[in-house]
Amino acid sequence: MGLAKDALIGVGIGLLVYLWVAGYNVLPVGLLILLGVLFWKFVPRPMMGGSDKGIQISGSSIDFNDIGGQNTAKKELKEALDFLLYSKRMKELGIRPLKGVLLSGPPGTGKTLLAKAAARYTDSIFLAISGSEFVEMYAGVGAERVRRLFRKARDLAKKEKKDRAIIFIDEMDILGAKRGSNVSHHEYDQTLNQLLVEMDGLGSEEQGPQILIVAATNRAEALDPALLRPGRFDRQVKVDLPDREGRLAILKIHAKNKPLATDVDLEQIAQETYNFSGAHLESVTNEAAVFALRDDVLEINMTHFQEAVEKVLLGEKLDRKPTDEELQRVAVHEGGHALLAEYVRPHSVAQISIRSRGNALGYVRHYPKDDLYLYTQVMIEEQIMVALAGAIAEETVLGARSTGAAGDYQQALQMVGKMMASGMSSLGVVDVEKLGADQRQKVTCEILSQLENRTREIILGSRETLERLVAVLKRDEVLDGEKLRVLIEEEAA
């Protein structure tokens, strides 16, 4: 192709020179040719079917054993993949081929890793692409890219002499959003329509490799219903945040290649990292190793892990130093949160700190004894009281509240809204959206007023303990939960 192009350019130049020697005015023709060359070289053009842009082709080195904390998701996915592995047996039973598996869940939970492990489990060709790669400003490019993706999967499977291929589409909500939901929806809809056509044709070929679509999304509710009907994405696998046992398994996997000191307790770290995703936990182990490197030590100890949890949760320490007055107020505020938390839920405080991190001047880190999915009215009221305790402590000890409690109030209001939606208010079971603003405000104030009074009584009864806690926090800046409980017991004795 390159030689033919050079030959064509050479013939063109020779023809121009011949015409010029013969006395013809070749300037207009020369200018047109020059403009054409510049246009061809510098103006971007859609690559209709000739580009593999964004497609990643690789053999997977990830195994299901390398993924922790997703036992249910792995079990469901393996069951779906058995349709590929035992396709002959499925045909004997009259079972149609499986066409698609949708992995849905929060970011960082391991959806991409599961897709790679699926390719290794089934010994399939693996092609990965993001949903955003299908959307272009040129009409028809997305649909052509879909067709080329499926052709590529079939050609590679034949080339590698394999009868299975897995196409992984990340960010499926971009490619598969509900039709008509985008402003310039024609190109989006055309691309989605082509994907539906390709999926409908997957089971119609008797010969050739079998193709399975594995897609991942954080927003399954945004997908077009045509994608989710039986016969397209036949299996929907929920990839949720790991529970405590799952977090422990993930920590063990990521800590396997790191030198840990004898004081490192991964079970305690798993307990303290409630609501962390797999990506968060990987970052915790990595940051702990970075802290060990900064300290120039050969092993990662428990202090490094605790620092890493704080950094992942709240951000890096700030250089800004608060004034003595601010430090006193922050210590009182965080001390109020901690004391109230220990009063309503003993042994729930993991750490108190008045070091500035991210947007927080101080914080109290809690951990539950168990991961809970249902909350009673008493539990929600206790959470609201803990949120209000910082401001109540400021008011009790310092005589006034501050703007530092704004985030706590938002948290309290959200939980009051949850109480009303769950029929836990004086209104009983109601449709909250149909309530007037004045009515909602009245019930909200009623609930908060009652809980503020209960919180104030507890803070007043623990004032001496609070003042001693404030003095310790101002001196040490950080206090772990066990030392806090010792301090409370000493004051009670």
The residue ranges of every structural domain in the chain are 56-238, 244-314, 324-492
Residue 178 half-sphere exposure toward CB, CA atoms < 13 A: 6
Instruction: Please state which of the ranges 12-21, 102-111, 257-266, 406-415 shows the lowest mean pLDDT.
Output: 12-21
pLDDT, mean of residues 456-472: 93
Pair type for strands 164-170 and 125-130: parallel
The SS3 call for residue 237 is strand
- What pLDDT score was predicted for residue 392? 95
Instruction: Please state which of the ranges 63-72, 87-96, 236-245, 412-421 shows the lowest mean pLDDT.
Output: 87-96
Instruction: Please state which of the ranges 185-194, 258-267, 403-412, 454-463 shows the lowest mean pLDDT.
Output: 185-194
CA distance linking residue 271 with residue 244, whole number of Å: 6
The one-character DSSP state at 127 is: E
**Options 3.90.1150.10, 1.10.8.60, 3.20.20.10, 1.10.287.1080; CATH of 244-314:** 1.10.8.60
The SS3 call for residue 344 is helix
Confidence grade of residue 46 (pLDDT, cut at 50, 70, 90): very low
The SS3 call for residue 76 is helix
Asked if the model's pLDDT at residue 316 lies above 90, the reply is no
Confidence grade of residue 45 (pLDDT, cut at 50, 70, 90): very low
Residue that wins the pLDDT comparison between 297 and 130: 297
- What pLDDT score was predicted for residue 128? 87
- What pLDDT score was predicted for residue 182? 61
Residue that wins the pLDDT comparison between 369 and 118: 118
Q: Are 393 and 333 in contact (CB under 8 A)?
A: yes
pLDDT, mean of residues 355-384: 81
Q: Which of 248, 491, 480, 244 is nearest to 347 (CA)?
A: 480
- What pLDDT score was predicted for residue 293? 95
Length of the chain: 493
Residue 85 half-sphere exposure toward CB, CA atoms < 13 A: 12
Q: Enter the pTM of the model.
A: 0.73
% residues pLDDT > 70 (the chain)? 82
Instruction: Tell me the pLDDT tens digit for each residue of 152-178.
Output: 888 888 888 888 888 999 988 888 888
Q: Where are the alpha helices (DSSP H) in 315-401?
A: 324-344, 377-398
Residue that wins the pLDDT comparison between 265 and 39: 265
- What pLDDT score was predicted for residue 59? 54
> Using N-to-C axis directions, what is the helix angle for 324-344 and 481-492, rounded to 10°?
80
Residue that wins the pLDDT comparison between 167 and 180: 167
CA 280 to chain centre: 9
Confidence grade of residue 139 (pLDDT, cut at 50, 70, 90): low
State the chain's mean pLDDT as an integer.
Answer: 83
Asked if the model's pLDDT at residue 180 lies above 90, the reply is no
- What pLDDT score was predicted for residue 48? 41
* CATH of the domain spanning 324-492: 1.20.58.760
pLDDT, mean of residues 284-312: 92
The catalytic site residues sit at: 334
- What pLDDT score was predicted for residue 50? 44
> Is 56-238 in CATH node 2.40.30.170?
no
C-beta neighbour count of 239 within 10 angstroms: 26
pLDDT, mean of residues 271-298: 92
Q: Token pair for residue 434? A: 């149909």
C-beta neighbour count of 423 within 10 angstroms: 12
